[in-house]
Structure 1
């Protein structure tokens, strides 16, 4: 039996993570008390951070496997994908924004910043789903 390639595994991991992130955002937080809301929001943020990590690493793997391009930073990966016509400029800019928000969460904890980024999670999910469509389409070509 043939083993799936590293790129195929990366696509599968990313797909599962996105599905989980989308499910987490479907929760109606108003049904819960304040403490539970806080825990759910933290879980949603963690799923966002995990998807961001898998997204750029998928792009990194794609560049290495399909184009023999080595890139070591998230924004660098997205820039190379854009320059190689795998991502639209709009997607590149939106993905850059996801990384910037993820970095803000990782390096500094401020409640107001956390709340601001939490409100942006549905838009970030859309960005990450659009990325999946674009890179999958190119992977199928």
Structure 2
């Protein structure tokens, strides 16, 4: 059986992501996108960090790299072609929620992710922190 991979043109993705969603979600955009990212992670579970990185690449979200491991968290960087990331105008809460839920499932404890745009470097930094005292199923 042959699979044909159709790709969504970048312009079509940008219309939805950068114009339609902010219009629909309004002032709740960041919160809704974070929880939508967590829900998306439940639908596409990744059993290790490399699969999370691969998911980002496959989804066209950019190149995610694990920069630092700490005892209670991770720091990831997201980079890509400047035209694709749209750092200045895009919220990255969808990606943050996705990573938070994936790491929470891997660690088995409450995990939060904070995103920081670094426009000059054309990258987004995701800082994850978990609490080993707050176990989750």
TM-score scaled by length of structure 2: 0.29
TM-score scaled by length of structure 1: 0.28
Q: Which has the higher helix share?
A: 1
Greater RCO (CA < 8 Å, at least 6 residues apart): 1
